[in-house]
């Protein structure tokens, strides 16, 4: 049994290593910011094409708006998943990171957090702007933003499990999509359903509460799943 002072030192050391790894990954994202911009451009283009394709009927656009933005956000998040571990794996950095004193689940959480900051936060900020194209009212845009804010961390966490499982495999990008798209269906249903409920005046509290519960559950379990998947892929 550790002494309290020793436990505090260990926790402080883990926190320092966690923040150091998070800072490193964010710095790499900044150096390759063209990749992050590509995700946002893809998101904008996909959302903007739907009004052109389905016509200018405001009722139809309002009905489709939440689902379209959520599908586009899900697809956009897939674009950057292949870079979550692949670059570090290719140059041998990942093995060195895994040998650090930081527990592997915290290592996975740091990398997922960096991915969410680089993709999830920009998608959250852009979602209400793009939602205006569909004639969503103020409540609908607010619920859309809240839903994307709660849902994108789940997309990153679940996506990290798929990225870790397919690490180093040929055609890994396609395999990641096949693995995680079915798992993300609940997020898609709850996120789009929240917007529809808000637009209908029914209230989106239940949908957002379920999204929050899903986020908490994924946040607790996914880092351990990613850690196990990384061990399997690197053995």
- Give percent above pLDDT 70 in the chain: 91
Q: Residue 3 above 60 pLDDT?
A: no
Query: Residue 6, Cα to own-chain centre: how many angstroms?
Result: 35
Count Cβ atoms below 10 Å from residue 48 Cβ, excluding itself.
Answer: 13
Mean pLDDT of all residues in the chain? 84
pLDDT tier at 6, thresholds 50, 70, 90: very low
Contact 68, 47 (CB under 8 A): yes
Cα 70 from Cα 193, distance rounded (Å): 10
In sequence order, the 6+-apart residues with CB closer than 8 A to the CB of 65 are 131, 133, 134, 135, 136, 140, 144, 195
């Amino acid at each position: 049994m550790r002494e309290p002072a020793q436990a505090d030192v260990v926790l402080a050391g883990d926190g320092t290593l966690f923040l150091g790894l998070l800072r490193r990954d964010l710095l790499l994202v900044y150096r390759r910011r063209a990749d992050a911009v590509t995700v946002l451009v893809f998101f904008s283009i996909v959302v903007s094409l739907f009004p052109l394709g389905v016509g200018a009927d405001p009722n139809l656009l309002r009905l489709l708006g939440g689902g379209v933005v959520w599908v586009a956000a899900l697809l956009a998040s897939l674009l950057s998943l292949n870079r979550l571990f692949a670059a570090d794996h290719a140059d041998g950095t990942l093995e060195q990171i895994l040998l650090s004193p930081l527990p592997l689940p915290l290592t996975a959480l740091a990398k997922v957090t960096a991915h969410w900051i680089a993709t999830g936060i920009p998608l959250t900020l852009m979602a209400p702007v793009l939602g205006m194209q569909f004639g969503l009212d103020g409540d609908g845009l607010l619920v859309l933003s809240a839903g994307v804010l709660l849902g994108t961390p789940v997309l990153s966490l679940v996506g990290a499990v798929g990225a870790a499982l397919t690490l180093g495999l040929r055609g890994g990008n396609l395999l990641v999509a096949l693995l995680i798209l079915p798992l993300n269906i609940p997020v898609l249903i709850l996120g789009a359903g929240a917007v529809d409920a808000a637009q209908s005046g029914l209230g989106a509290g239940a949908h957002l509460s379920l999204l929050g519960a899903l986020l908490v559950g994924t946040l607790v379990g996914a880092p351990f799943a990613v850690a196990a998947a990384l061990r399997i892929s690197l053995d």
